[in-house]
Amino acid sequence: MYIFLLLFFGAILAFWKYNTRNKDYWKKRGVNTQIEGTTFKFLIGNCSLSEHYKKIYDEHPNEENVGIFQGSRPAIILRNLENMQFVLAGDFLNFYSRGLTTNPEDTLADNVLFMEEYPRWKLVRQKLSPVFTSLRLRNMFYIVERCASDFAKLLEENEKFREKPFNACYTYTTSALGASVFGIDTTVNTMHSPFLDMAWKSLEPTFRANFRFFLSNTFPFLFRLFKLKAFAEHEDFFINVVRKMLANRRVDTKKHYDFIDICLELQNAGTMNDPTTGYSLEPTDEILAAQAFFFFIAGADTSANTMHFTLLELSNNPKILKKVHEEVDKVFDECGETLTHGDLENLGYLDMVLSEAMRKYPPVGLMQRRCTNDTVLPVGNVPVEKDSIMIVPIYAIHRDPKYWPNPEVFDPERFSPENAPKIKKYSYMPFGEGGRICLGVRFARQQVKAGLAWLLRRFTLAEQVYAPKHFEPSFFALRDPYATYELIPRYHAQKS
């Protein structure tokens, strides 16, 4: 009852504040269009927030910016690439914040994805960057390749596993992350990951999870008042697992080239310092566990969705599928059924297919940034107050015919060596852009390409029509986990 009353009076307060302060807020600042109730419509609707923003984006083709509100917080849906570049890169110090409210007690949310304090974020990101250097990616690829091979074998041996293809992709991406980035010993089968259940539940877009993000975005004072945590139910399990991994690795002298090695190097070096900001931080087990958690919530779900949508589109386009099979078979025949890091470079057409899948179904459908100091958007000369939210509607941009002719058509040739250089900057952002671009972008592509290559070596896809009406109601992602396709074993399984 106490919570209900607070929410009720909070809603009344927000409504009063909107009618007194926020009516015509954006029009007074030179933004012609102001839309109301977007976030609430998402909360009670049946599609993703990215789709709601795309609808607004499409309905106002002549506007550079569209004003909305997240609760009582003013927000802008950006429609101009120059303004997007300004927010994500040009004026980064005024827009480094994602605007996601967390509580100090929320240990797992204290990672580079959610960190709001700039000096703290900058220091931790700098220290994590070596996880995905070219050398480390090459050295961990044999584990990724083994995971991909085990993934194909699991699909071959377990027909029921093929009935839920998204779950299968999720099993692979979670296991590949656990084995390669964290060095989890999976001697018997790499598909047996202790993180699978946790990774699945942490990002499943339930009403409860969406409501927490709704409060965080629209009523941050209530989120803090009730000391809500985004990932409370996974805290003990994940921190204990990482703590045990660190303890075991301290007595293991072998070099693993993974995240746990980086963690030990940081702890052995003592206090982390950034001489440019003067900020310092102790690399405790809890701090490092939070960064480990970041890799799972940023990598497992997005990579699984990318694989899933790629396969759905290949089942929808038999000519493209045939061309992919020809390339994959050529590479596998030449490498003797064991992919190397260099072999991935020879899968150029598969790379184009993957890029087009992420164009049509971006792993993250939107980004947002909170303004930390008053500033002005260059296009439209729009004054932006501190704490206003800037929204980059990635899904809408990726389907904008101004940048992508016939955007509903799946056409990998958009990313051919001849056409890729013509793509306008900031019209394609599957991994974000600017100062907070995805840290693991190269690992993600490596993992997904290896998994798709092994799967398409062993299986083909029955032809079907895939035309989704909407996606799962998620705050940030595009998901369609119940969409299916039939995997048909190929002769290579018997041949090898």
CB-based contacts of 237: which residues, under 8 Å, 6+ apart?
A: 198
Helix, strand, coil percent values for the chain (each to nearest 5): 55, 10, 35
- Pull the structure tokens for residue 13: 């307060």
Longest dimension (CA), the chain: 73
Q: Is the Cβ–Cβ distance between 154 and 161 less than 8 Å?
A: yes
H or E stretch including 440?
none
**Rounded Cα gap, residues 84 and 86, in angstroms:** 5
Give me the half-sphere count of Cα atoms (radius 13 Å) on the Cβ side of residue 266.
28
One-letter amino acid at 33 equals T
What's the gap between Cα 320 and its chain centre? Answer: 26
DSSP conformational letter for 29: G
Q: Is 169 assigned a ligand-binding role in the annotation?
A: no
DSSP label of 378: T
Tell me which residue of 427, 446, 491 sits closest to 84, measured CA to CA. Answer: 427
**How many Å apart are CA 136 and CA 120, to the nearest integer?**
25
Q: Which long-range contacts (CB under 8 A, 24 or more apart) does 339-343 make?
A: 339/145, 339/148, 339/450, 339/453, 339/454, 340/141, 340/145, 341/137, 341/138, 341/141, 341/446
Count each helix (H run) and each strand (E run) in the chain, helices first.
Answer: 19, 10
Report the Cα–Cα distance between both ends of the chain, in Å, rounded.
65
CA-closest candidate to residue 100, choices 244, 7, 229: 229
Q: How far apart are CA 440 and CA 47, in angstroms?
A: 28
Contact by Cβ (8 Å): 456, 324: yes
Contact 249, 261 (CB under 8 A): yes
> What DSSP line would sit under 83-149, residue for residue?
HHHIIIIITGGGS-B------TT-GGG-STTT---HHHHHHHHHHHGGGG-HHHHHHHHHHHHHHHH
C-alpha closest to that of 37 among 5, 67, 79: 67
Instruction: Please state at what angle helix 259-269 crosses helix 285-316, rounded to 10 degrees.
Output: 160
Q: Nearest-CA neighbor of 338 among 492, 146, 147?
A: 146
Pick out the residues of the known binding site: 438
Pick out the residues of the known binding site for heme: 438
